[in-house]
Structure 1
Amino acid sequence: MAISRPRSRAIPLLPLLLLILLAPLIYSVSRMRLSWAPEQLPHPDSRKLPDALVLGPAAGQGRTDRLQCQGLKAVNKISLASEGKYSGELVSFVTVFTAYNSDPAGAGKMSSDVVTVGKHSYSKVERSMAILNTFISFIQVSMPTSKVIILTDPKSKLSINQGRATIFPIDGNYSRGNLMLQRIKSYIAFLELKFEKLDQVNSFSNYIFTDSDMVVVEDLGYIFKRYPHCHLALTFRNNKGQPLNSGFVAVRGTSDGISKAIEFFKKVLEAYNLKYMKASRMLGDQLALAWVVKSHLPSAFGKFSSPEIFTGEVNGASVLFLPCAVYNWTPPEGAGQFHGMPLDVKVVHFKGSRKRLMLEAWDFYNLTSELSDMLCLILKSGRTKYDF
C-alpha cells in the first residue's frame, strides 16, 4: 500500500527575485535610520550665530581688480591716510536715526541679549548707538572735513559727542513699521529747509543721504566734482527685484540740485503711498525708487547688469547711476557667487546681521590705523552671519 507524503510548497519565483533585488536597499535604509538617530543630531546650541569673528579665505585672490590679502594684510591697497586724497568739495552726510527703548520692566536685570565686541559690551539699545557712532567715526577718518547730520524724532533723546556730528529734529512718525516711509518724508523736509536758506549763505554743501550702517573708506566729494551737471546720484545692482538701493543717495547742494531732489523724493513718496504700503517696513522705499526710475527712464534697467557708471534723466533731474559694487558694497552672506572686494571700493554697507562686523572693523582699525588691512578683515569675515 502506497504511503501518501505531504507535498512541499514551491516558493513563487517572482517574490523571491524581488526580495533579492530589494535586500541592498533595505540594508542601506536601515543604515540611514541609524545615522539619523537623535543622539547624532547637532546640539541646538551649535546652530547659534557665532559670538566672535570667523575668518575664511579672501575671495577674489588672483584677480587684479580685487583686493588681495595675505592674512589680514592688504597687498595691493594703499591706505587713504598715506594717499592724502581730498576733492575739495564740501560734503555733509545725512542719516535718519532713532533709538527704540527696551522694555522698562527689564531695567536693572542682566540681559541675555548683551553682546561683547573687543573690550565693550552692548545691550540691544547700546549696540544701535554704537553703530551710529562708528558710522560717524569712519567718516571723520576718511573725510575729516565733512559734517554728519542726524535726522531724528524730536522726542528721541539722542546724545552725540562727536566733533562734526549734529542732531537735526524733524517731526514725524518714527515707529519701526513706518521708519522707511518717514525717512523719505524727513529727506524732503530737510531739503526744503536747506533750499529756503540758500540765499542766506555764501557757500553750500553737497549732501549724501545714507544708512547709518555704512563705512565710508574713501573721499566721495569727487563725485560732485567729476560729474558737475548731475543733480542726483543713485546706486544700482544686478538685481531684478530690487535694482536700486535706497541706502545711498547723493544730492548736489545748489538750488537747482536741491529743487530737483525734492521733486524726485516727492515722486518716490507718492509711489510708496500708492503702491507699496504693504512693504512699508523694509522694502517699500526701494520698490518705489525703482518704480519712479523705470517710469521715466526704462532704458536704465538694461544697464544694471554691467557695473559701469552712466547718467540719465528722471523726471527732469540729471541722475548719475553708480554701481553698488563700488559705492555700496555689501559682504555677501553665505551662498551665491562671491568674487571678492573691488579694489576701488568706496563704501561698505553692513546690512542685516553684518552690523557686528562693522564694530569689529572699527576695533581692528583702532589697533592698526590701516584702512586697507581693515578691508581684509571685512573680506575674510563677511560671509558669516553674526548676532546683529
Structure 2
Amino acid sequence: MATPRPRIRAIPLRPLFLLLLVPLIYSVSRLHLWAPERGLCLPPPAAPKRPDRLVLGPAAGQGRPDRLQCLGLKALNKIGISSAGNYSREHISFVTVFTTYSSEPAGDGKVSSDAVTVGNHSYGKIERSMAILYTFISFIQVSMPRSNVIILTDPNSKLSITQGSATLLPIDGNYSRGNLMLQRIKSYIAFLEQKLVEVERVEDFNHFVLTDSDIAVVDDLGHIFKKYPHCHLALTFRNNKGQPLNSGFIAIRGTRDGISKAVEFFKQVLEAYSLKYMKASHMLGDQLALAWVVKSHLPSAFGKFSKHEAFTGEVNGASVVFLPCAIYNWTPPEGAGQFHGMPLDVKVVHFKGSRKRLMLEAWNFYNSTSMLSDTLCLILKSGRTKYDF
C-alpha cells in the first residue's frame, strides 16, 4: 500500500511580494533623504557656446518669386543699391544715439582679454561697438552716398569718429545702460527742436531717418518721402502682438511742419514711457510706449499689421505712413520658426540681438566682392544662428 506524500502548504504571494519590496522602498527613501534640494548645490547648466564664425544654412524662400534666390553665395536676383541714375536725390541725414561704457577711450587701439576675432581684426567690447558703428556708416556710404550720419552722444563720452560722412552731436542727458532707451527719446526731441530752429534759416532742407546703429541700409530710402509727400513721419510695423512697432527705424520729413509734428509725437511717447513703462525691460519700454500712443489715436492700425502692406493714418494730428518691417526693417529670425526668406525689395537689414558678428562678416564679404546681392545671400544663409557677440 502506497504511503501518502506530505502536503506542502502554499505560501501566499501578496505578503511575499510586500516582504521583498520593503528593502527597496527603504533604500529609495534613504536616497531621497540625502538628495540635494531641487535647484541647490547643483552647478548651473553651461550656456551653449556660440559659434565664432559664420554658420551657413539653406537659403529660406527658395522657389518663391518674391524672395531672394541664391546658388551658394551667388545671388540669382540682382537686388539692392539703385543705379546712380535712379537715386531719389532727396537730402537725408541718418541720426543715431550712441555711447560707450568704459573708462578707456574708444578706439585707442587696446584689445581686452575678452577679444573676439572677425576676419583679420580682434575686438574687445568697446572695439566691437565701434566696429558696428563704423559698419553702419559704411553701408550708408555705399547705398546712399549723398547722405550723412549724425551721432547723438553723451557729452562726457570719450567717443571720437574718423569717418568723413559722420559727425558727433553731444546732447546732455543720462546715457546709462538702464536709461538709454528713455534717453534716446529725449535726445531725439532735443535734436529735432534744434532743427526746428534751423529750418527757418535755410532754403533747402534735410529729411531725417532716426535709427539704431546695428542696421545696414542696402538701397536708397529717398523714395519714402517722394511716394508719401503728405506724410510727416514713417514707422515700421510687424505682425507681433506684444511689440508691433519697432523703434529702430523712424523717418521724419524735414519741413517745419514735419519736424514740429515729430517733436509732439515723441513728447507723447516720452510721457507714456515715463508714466506706464518705466518698469519694463530697458530695451522694451520705448517700443511699448510707441505702440500705446499709436493705439490711443489710431486703434484701427493694429488690424492692418498682419497684411504686410504700407498704409497711412493720422496720429494726434501727424500724418503717418506705416511701412512693413519685412522691407524697411528686415531681421532674420534666430533659431527655428517660420522664415520665408528675404524680400526682393528689402531696403534695410537690422542685425538685432546676437547678429552683430554677422553684420561685420557681411561688410567684410562685401569689401571682398563689391556685390551687395551676394552679400545679402550671405546674410540670408547665416541669419538663423546666434553668434558669439
Does TM, normalized by the shorter one, top 0.5?
A: yes
Partner Cα separation in structure 2 for residue 136 and residue 79 of structure 1: 17
Residue aligned with 2:365, SS: helix
Partner Cα separation in structure 1 for residue 201 and residue 84 of structure 2: 36
Residues 237 and 243 of structure 1 are in contact (CA less than 8 Å); yes or no, is this contact kept in structure 2? yes
Partner of 2:60: 59
Partner Cα separation in structure 1 for residue 210 and residue 130 of structure 2: 18
Partner of 2:349: 348
Query: TM-score when scaled to structure 1?
Result: 0.88
Partner Cα separation in structure 2 for residue 272 and residue 316 of structure 1: 20
Give 1:202 deviation, angstroms: 1.5
Give 1:11 deviation, angstroms: 5.1
Deviations 1:8-66 (A, max 9, x none): 44757xx8xxxxxxxxxxxxxxxxxxxxxxxxxxx969x30000000000000000000
Partner of 2:130: 129
Partner of 1:224: 225
Give 1:103 deviation, angstroms: 8.2
Deviations 1:305-334 (A, max 9, x none): 010000000010000000000000001101
Percent of pairs identical after alignment? 78
Unpaired runs of at least 5, structure 1: 16-42
Partner of 2:41: none
Partner Cα separation in structure 2 for residue 2 and residue 112 of structure 1: 93
Partner Cα separation in structure 1 for residue 160 and residue 232 of structure 2: 33
Partner Cα separation in structure 2 for residue 285 and residue 78 of structure 1: 33
RMSD across aligned positions (CA) = 2.4
Partner Cα separation in structure 2 for residue 81 and residue 110 of structure 1: 38
Partner Cα separation in structure 2 for residue 76 and residue 221 of structure 1: 22
Partner of 2:8: 6
Give 1:190 deviation, angstroms: 0.3
Partner Cα separation in structure 2 for residue 378 and residue 163 of structure 1: 27
Residue aligned with 2:90, SS: coil
Give 1:5 deviation, angstroms: 4.1
Partner Cα separation in structure 1 for residue 138 and residue 110 of structure 2: 31
Give 1:77 deviation, angstroms: 2.2
Give 1:157 deviation, angstroms: 1.3
Partner Cα separation in structure 1 for residue 303 and residue 158 of structure 2: 45
Deviations 1:269-311 (A, max 9, x none): 0000000001251100000000000000000000000100000
Deviations 1:174-224 (A, max 9, x none): 000000000000000000001011111111000000000000000001100
1:285 aligns with 2:286: yes
Partner Cα separation in structure 1 for residue 225 and residue 59 of structure 2: 33
Residues 181 and 280 of structure 1 are in contact (CA less than 8 Å); yes or no, is this contact kept in structure 2? no
Partner of 2:251: 250
Partner of 1:369: 370
Partner of 2:216: 215
Partner Cα separation in structure 1 for residue 384 and residue 148 of structure 2: 32
Partner of 1:93: 94
- How many residue pairs were aligned? 360
Residues 80 and 218 of structure 1 are in contact (CA less than 8 Å); yes or no, is this contact kept in structure 2? yes
Q: Summarize the alignment of residues 184-333 of structure 1 with structure 2, pairs less than 5 Å apart.
A: 184-279=185-280, 281-333=282-334
Partner Cα separation in structure 2 for residue 335 and residue 184 of structure 1: 33
Aligned residue type for 1:305: S
Residue aligned with 2:129, SS: helix
Give 1:88 deviation, angstroms: 1.3
Partner Cα separation in structure 2 for residue 81 and residue 102 of structure 1: 42
Partner of 2:72: 71
Distance change in 2, residues 1:98/1:89 (3 Å):
same
Partner Cα separation in structure 2 for residue 142 and residue 2 of structure 1: 109
Residue aligned with 2:342, SS: coil
Partner Cα separation in structure 2 for residue 100 and residue 178 of structure 1: 13
Aligned residue type for 1:6: I
Distance change in 2, residues 1:121/1:260 (3 Å):
same
Partner Cα separation in structure 2 for residue 266 and residue 108 of structure 1: 40
Distance change in 2, residues 1:323/1:81 (3 Å):
closer
Residues 102 and 125 of structure 1 are in contact (CA less than 8 Å); yes or no, is this contact kept in structure 2? no
Give 1:78 deviation, angstroms: 3.7
Query: TM-score when scaled to structure 2?
Result: 0.88
Partner of 1:153: 154
Residue aligned with 1:304, SS: helix
Residue aligned with 2:346, SS: coil
Aligned residue type for 1:193: Q
Deviations 1:69-109 (A, max 9, x none): 000010012452656530011000000000111689xx999
Deviations 1:343-367 (A, max 9, x none): 1100000001101100000000000
Residue aligned with 2:355, SS: helix
Partner of 2:42: none
Partner Cα separation in structure 2 for residue 322 and residue 7 of structure 1: 89
Give 1:266 deviation, angstroms: 0.3
Give 1:242 deviation, angstroms: 0.2
Q: Which moved more, 1:133-142 or 1:192-201?
A: 192-201
Residue aligned with 2:251, SS: strand
